[in-house]
Structure formats: C-alpha cells, structure tokens
Chains A and B, each alone.
Chain A
Amino acid sequence: MSEHIVSPKVYIVIFLALMVGTTATVWAAYQNFGQFNIVIALAIATFKATLVVLYFMHARYSPKRTQLVIVCSVFWLAIMLAMTLTDYDTRTPRDSRLAPPAISHLFRA
C-alpha cells in the first residue's frame, strides 16, 4: 500500500487554521454567550479535532475501512453521551422515588 504524500502547503494551511481556531477559543472564552458558551467552545474544538484527524492523521487519504473504523468510534462516543443524557436530561430535582410514601394519613385516628 503506497503512502499518500501530502504537500507541506497543506500542512501549513491546516496549522494556520488550527491557530485561528485557538485564537477563536481564547476570544470566545472572554465573551458571555449565556447558555451557548459551552456550545461555541465545543463547536470550535470539534472543528479543530476534525482537521487534525482528517489531515494530520491522514484519515482523508486512508482506505475506506480505516474511515469506517473512525466513524464507528465516533458513533460509540455518541452512544456514551446520548445514553448518559437519558439520565441528565430527564432528572427531576426532587425525584419522587426518594420521597417517603404518602401513607401517614392511614395512621391518623
């Protein structure tokens, strides 16, 4: 299997894009977007990670099977996050299971 040769120009462009991303992260950290703070930070981080995987780790030039493995592992991460969120997104501050059962009236004379 022959290795794909990536020109230095591509690496430089990607590196500059990552630097811009880092600057954007730092800038965003000092702004208040309310509940979108975490969303924006994660979006920038995901974009940067995607660039690293595609170009620096050569996923873009890899065989289809390698790409499938990468997609599957992201899917596995999604399983972990989504199913953890089934707990966090549906949790009530005072879970009814934790409250004592309402039977005290039975003991009133």
Chain B
Amino acid sequence: MSTTPPLPGHQMPHEDYLNATYGIRSWLLTTDHKRIALLYLGSVTVFFFIGGLLATMIRIHLLTPTGYLVTPETYNKLFTMHGVAMIFFFLIPSIPAVLGNFLIPLMIGAKDLAFPKINLLSWYIYLVGGSFVLYSFATGGLDTGWTFYTPLSSIYSNSAVTPAVIGIFINGFSSILTGLNFIVTIHTMRAPGMTWFRLPLFVWAHYATSLVMILGTPVIAITLLLAGLERMFHLGFFNPALGGDPILFQHLFWFYSHPAVYIMILPAMGVISEIIPTFARKPIFGYSFIAGSSIAIAVIGFLVWAHHMFVTGESVYAALTFSFLSYLVAIPSAVKVFNWTSTLYKGSISWDTPMIYAFGFIGLFLIGGLTGLFLACLGLDIHIHDTYFVVAHFHYIMVGGAVMGYVGGLHFWWPKITGRLYPEALARIAAVTLFVGFNLTFFPQFILGYLGMPRRYHTYPPEFQVLNVLSTAGASILALGYLLPMLYLTWSMRYGKVAGQNPWPATGLEWKTDSPPPTENFDVTPEVTWEPYDFQNRPDLGLTAGAPSLAPAHGDD
C-alpha cells in the first residue's frame, strides 16, 4: 500500500492494464502493447547496463596514458561490445519499442497495434538475437569494432564474430516487425477525426522511423550474413584474396547503419516535439514543417552513407556527391531546431523535468549536428577522421540526443505508464547532473580528436592525459545521472504521488484516458475535434487559477 496520500481528487483507477491479470504467464504471453512496451523497457535497460559497464571500463583504462586495466586485445573487445550492445540492443529499440509501443495506439485513439501477436513476437526475436550476442560476449568476446569491417571480421579476427552477426541478423527482424506494425497501425487505426495533420508529431516521427527500419534493416541483415558466410565457408564476397571487395562491405553496411542513426534520433525528436509545446503552453510552431522534416530526414538519410568512407579509397566524385548530400540533411534538422525555438518564443515556460531534458536535447543535438558538418567536409574530414572528434560527435547525437530524448520521454510519460509521479526536485537534480556529466565526458573528446588522438587506441601520449582524466571524471557524473532516475523511478512505481489523467496538462489523446490506462486504452473510442497542441480551445485541460497562464497562439501575438 502507498504511504503517500493521493493528490486531492486523484485516485488510482480500479482496474488498469497493470492489474487486469496477474502472474508471469500473463506477462510473457501478453499481446497488450503497453505490457510489451514494459517488457522492452526491462530488456533494453539490461543491455544499457551491459553497455554502460563496458564504457566504464574503457574510461577507467584511459585514465593513464599506458592504461593498466586491460590488455590491448581486451581493450579492442571492450569498445566493440560497448558499441554492439548500445547501438543494436539499446539505442535502436529504446524509444520506438518502449515509448512508441506504449504510446502510438494511445495517441491515435486505438485499442492496440494492428498486429498484437507480431508485436509480442518482435520482443521474443529481440531476446533470441540478444542471447546470441551475449553468447558471443561470453565466449571470446568481439574485437572487430561495432562496424564489423571486413576482412578483419570475415577472416582475421580470433573473437566470436559468428554468433554476434547471427544475433544481429536475427534482431533485425524484430526491428522490421516493429516498423511494419507502426506503419499499418498509423494508416488504418486512427480514431474518428484523427486526420494525418492532427497526429501528434511523436507519431509522425515514428512513421518516418518505421520507414527507415523497413527499408534499411534487410540490407544490414544480408550484409552481416554475407560476412558470416565468408567467415564460415570462405565464400568470397569482401576479402580481396577470395576475389571480393572490402569497400563493398562498407557501402552495404553504411547503407543501413547511417540511416540507423536516424532510427535513434528521429523518435527522440518526436519526444521533444511533444514536451516543448506542453511546457511552453503553446501550439507548436510550424507543425507541418516539423512533420515533413521527419520524412525528409528519413529519405535524405538514405543518400549520405558513403561520407563514412571518405578516406577508404572511394572515388573522388562519389565523395563529392556524398559530401554535398550530407550537407542537405542539415536543412530538415535545422527546421526542427528553429521551430522548437520559435515555439518557446513568448511561451509560458515551466521548468518541469521533461522540459529540462528537452532543453538539454536541443543544445546537445545542435553541437552534435554542427560537428557533423565538419565531418561531412571532405578536406577537414581527412584530418579528424577516426579520431576522438568523431567519437565525441556521434555521442553528442546518440547520447546527448537520443538518450536525453529517451530519458526525457520516460519522465514525461511516466505518470501515464505507472499512474504515479516521480519526486520532482530529485528528478530536476538528476537531469542537470546528466547534462553536466555528459558535457564533461564528451566535450574534452572533441579537443582530443582535433589534437590528433585516434579512436580505438588503448594508449595515448602523456600530453593528452588531462583531457582524458576530465572525460573519465565526467563519465562518473554521467553514471550518477543515469542511476538516480533508475532509483527514483522504480521507487515512484509504489510510493509516488497518484498522478491523475493529465498531470502536466498536455493536449494529446493519451492524456484523456486513465493513468495507467485500461487494457483497452479507452472506455469508448474517442472522437478528435481539436487541432494538435491547441491549449486555447481546450477547457477540459483545466488550466485554471494557479496554473501558468496560457501563452498566445501564433498569429495572436
């Protein structure tokens, strides 16, 4: 029983998706999208811990120039396994499979996803793929880099490459099925009145993400399978000695793996597009441009992959083409940032925890995105390629962007998921801790890279030690920033204040049902008669005395 009295007027619903049925079986065989989202939440958290532990070991090793913690061979395995665990098993499924799974049906007024059993199947496929990869980690590890470049991965590596590529191949189907489910659901299951341009931007972002998942994932699956076949049966695809071409592997690998970055960042952008108008009490600025920019990022994201290969010996003309196209991605990304900023203009801003994460996201994504332009520049890339500059850049996008969005979204929808509020003051401290820890960890790496420290080296010249120590110190603060939310969010599931239907309040359809929602999501299918993010014409939100005053809509000011 809760020790905290519920807020006046708020009671936990009598029956919801969490207590509708009991027992392990009711969870492992559930087809409820909300329960599957929680199953994913648990499993991606496990991989986040594994990846985080490996990152901790990397940072401890790099405290001293010679590195005392592990041997050079083990160091290779540490950063490879960190990358594989974090990218394929945490970042890619995190927001779509957890928040997307939970929220898309709620946001469009549906009872579930279009294919509930396939949804459960995708989680089991994820577990099977994950088991193969953990088997690889436990039986020799993996030392090829998360990119599996051939012929190192297909011939020379002595680590457990085969189970790892099989695991990632299997896991790809999980991603494809999730994307397929989202697309069909968004097309066919919207509530009456929920037109395409009334969809929350979170749903638009997930639609774009799903396109990338479906169009890109088969390519990585086949590519890794080919590398596996070359390794197991010496079929010549990528090894020059067998008549293959190693650059072909890189083309095929990055055809998926560059768009995969957008699988990570687009859903986070969707989260931010929900948080900003809610805590600025204002309709989002340029709805259709933000929606369109998600699709544009997904499409253009497929045309830029060879910018990862400027120094591999690809042709100058191809490099020129891909460099130009890479600059194009900056346009829809900037559209989003400008529109979020314009939404804040004259807004009635409150500094709730999700908003702090959103602000953090905008700043960190901006730095990550702009340094991406440095790397897309053909001349400069030759200097900073394969240095810590690249490491810092993609961590600003993936951790500063995607993970900030994920943790921010988790806070924003936590009252909906669990029906309870987390301790606000502690959560704000954690958000600031995370932001400070992140910057202290990764900003020094920009400088290290620019000064010439290569990535993936287990040792470095003594003059780089100060910056490396700063980075490791930052990593320990960052770790605290992740542990705090894990602790108080878990605590709040039992002891947090009862949240009520719409604690912020926000305008989306998901806030019009109970928290936690019933198994069927809505008692009656809702009818949507309002425009998205419209605070002015929504008396049902209860923005009355004591609440922050409403900001004027665009065009009124």
Residue among B252, B302, B305, B315 making CB contact with A90, cutoff 8 Å: B315
Contacts known (A73-B215, A86-B321, A87-B247); A80 close to B316, Cβ less than 8 A: no
Contacts known (A76-B302, A80-B219); A86 close to B318, Cβ less than 8 A: yes
B302 A79 Cβ-Cβ under 8 A = yes
Inside 8 A of A96's CB, which chain B residues have their CB? 316
Inside 8 A of A90's CB, which chain B residues have their CB? 315-318
Contacts known (A95-B315, A97-B316); A87 close to B306, Cβ less than 8 A: yes
- The number of A-B residue pairs with CB atoms under 8 Å apart is 45
| Chain B binding surface, main DSSP class | helix
Chain B interface, number of residues (Cβ within 8 angstroms): 19
Chain A interface, number of residues (Cβ within 8 angstroms): 17
Residue among B248, B255, B316, B322 making CB contact with A95, cutoff 8 Å: B316
**A65-109: which have CB < 8 Å to B?**
73, 76, 79-80, 83-84, 86-92, 95-98
Find the B residue at minimum CB distance from A98.
B313
Q: How far is the CA of A79 from the CA of B318 in the complex (A)?
A: 14
A91 B303 Cβ-Cβ under 8 A = no
Q: What 1/0 mask marks residues of chain B from 289 to 318 whose CB sits below 8 Å from any chain A CB?
A: 000000000000011011000000111111
Q: Could you list 16 examples of A-B contacts with CB < 8 Å?
A: A76-B215, A80-B219, A83-B303, A83-B305, A83-B306, A83-B321, A84-B248, A86-B317, A87-B247, A91-B313, A91-B314, A91-B315, A91-B318, A92-B315, A95-B315, A98-B313
B315 A87 Cβ-Cβ under 8 A = yes
| Chain A binding surface, main DSSP class | helix
Residues of chain A touching chain B, judged by Cβ–Cβ distance below 8 Å, are: 73, 76, 79-80, 83-84, 86-92, 95-98
In the complex, given contacts A76-B302, A80-B252, what are 14 additional A-B residue pairs having Cβ atoms less than 8 angstroms apart? A79-B303, A80-B219, A80-B255, A83-B321, A84-B251, A84-B255, A86-B322, A88-B315, A90-B316, A90-B317, A90-B318, A91-B314, A91-B315, A95-B313
4 smallest A-B Cβ distances: which pairs?
A87-B318, A91-B315, A90-B317, A90-B315
A87 B251 Cβ-Cβ under 8 A = yes
Inside 8 A of B318's CB, which chain A residues have their CB? 83, 86-87, 90-91
Distance of A64 from chain B, by nearest CB (Å):
14
